[in-house]
Amino acid sequence: MPRGIYECINCGHREELNSTDPVLEKACPKCGSDMVLVGFARGDAGEPSEGKTALQFGAFAPPKLPLEVEDKLGQFYTLEFEGVDGNVFVYKVIEIVESDFEKVLRELEELGYWAALKKRNGRTLLFVFPAQEIKESNPWLPWIFLIATILTTFMAGYYQALLYVSFLDKFGLPGLRNPYLIALSFSVSVMAILGTHEMGHKIAAVYHGVKATVPYFIPFPNLIGTMGALIRVKSPIPTRNAAIDLGTSGPIAGFLVAIPVSIIGMKLSVAVPQSAVPPTEGGITLGGNLFFYLLGKYLFPIPDGYVLYLHPVAIAGWVGILVTFLNLIPAAQLDGGHIARAFLSEKTHRYFTILLGFLLMAMGFLWIGWMIWAALILFMGSMGNPGALDEVTPISKKRIALAAVAVVIFFLSVTPVPFSAS
């Protein structure tokens, strides 16, 4: 039986062993990493040779990359082969010739392969592996969800319109009283904010060559008529710059639309003396945030002793600010989580996610809904966040500035108690 020649994929230690298995897990005597079969030691007569080792590859040879893939890699990097782990080819990077990793990934994908550039124990390693098949999405499903969400947001807007018109009538205040127009304005406002948020993600994904679905709106018969919207990312994020672009594009785009919606809604809202409004039970009060506080202080100040009854369009703007805040929580696979992961290692980000999950759990005494969010974040965090394929190339200054803008928007939109009962 031939003796296998194995090489450690981490430290490069090589030795003969009485085995022909392709991979020996955690078998390296020096560092404890996996050992990969790289050849066999045999003499001329089939017995182990004395004094020297000859590498012979035949039926037991480890897999090799196609020649065109190896040639392509040679155009981008100076590499030293480290070994094979299953269907993943590992190379030590001696020199990076092509700094645009997205170009590297794009050209490798044309040959049916993906790559990842990582730091391991002070070394730069390139992992090359077969690209996964991207399955086509159902083309009709997003349209069905879109139409359903338009209907549910219109119904929610109509309910709010009836309350608003009733309030105007009760106090004899001027204002538009057509509930259908008010409902339409609410629906359009909510859909514009959510749609712009998700299209921001979609545009960033297309720009960086990331495969992603069109936006899926989620209809739900509640106060706002929806549970939000999302897109599914179906291929790896190439670089940390791309991760920041994908993470910030949606919240920033949605926030920019929420600003004029909120201003118009505040303009349409009415203020009445607090003493004229009798206390009620079973009502819902919307929580405050710094953005609406600044609007009320500098653009729409109301006298002391007055309360503001929000127009449904203002409620739509408030919803947009809340959605921005929730998405920018820097945990798990949320938008803020992708931004944070660009700056943190996978292990550090996992611990940070767990910490935020327990923090939200503690905030449950302010609003019971945080308990649900805590459970959701801890569940998503258990699956980890692999981050970008390229974790070696430095983050650009523009992306650092973009992340800083996202942090400012996050603090403007923080809503500690989104809803409270009166």
pLDDT beyond 80 at 51? no
Residue 55: pLDDT band with limits 50, 70, 90: very low
**Tokens linked to 401:** 């500035």
Q: Mean per-residue pLDDT for 153-171?
A: 94
- Describe the crossing of helices 335-343 and 397-413 by its angle, rounded to 10 degrees: 140
Cα gap 320→291, rounded to integer Å:
11
Name 124's Cβ contacts closer than 8 Å, sequence gap at least 6.
92, 93, 96, 117, 118, 392
Confidence of residue 279 (pLDDT cuts 50, 70, 90): low
Mean pLDDT for the chain overall: 89
DSSP, residue by residue, 317-341: HHHHHHHHHHHTS-STTSHHHHHHH
pLDDT at 40 > cutoff 80: no
Strongest mean pLDDT among 33-37, 272-276, 280-284, 325-329: 325-329
- Quote the pLDDT of residue 281: 52
Residue 31 pLDDT greater than 90, yes or no? no
CATH architecture group of domain 67-130: Alpha-Beta Complex (3.90)
* Interatomic CA distance for residues 112 and 69, integer angstroms: 9
State the virtual CA torsion across 245, 251, 253, 257 in degrees, nearest 10: -170
- The percent of residues in the chain predicted with pLDDT above 90, rounded, is 70
Evaluate if residue 60 carries a pLDDT over 90: no
| pLDDT value for 48 | 39
Mean pLDDT for 112-132 is: 93
Sequence letter at residue 347: K
Q: Examine the pLDDT at 11 and tell me if it is beyond 90.
A: no
Domain ranges of the chain: 67-130, 141-327+392-421
pLDDT by residue (tens digit) across 207-259?
999 999 999 999 998 889 999 999 999 999 999 999 999 999 999 999 999 99
Can you give the pTM of this predicted structure?
A: 0.84
Residue 50 confidence (pLDDT): 39
pLDDT band at 85 (very low <50, low <70, confident <90, very high): confident
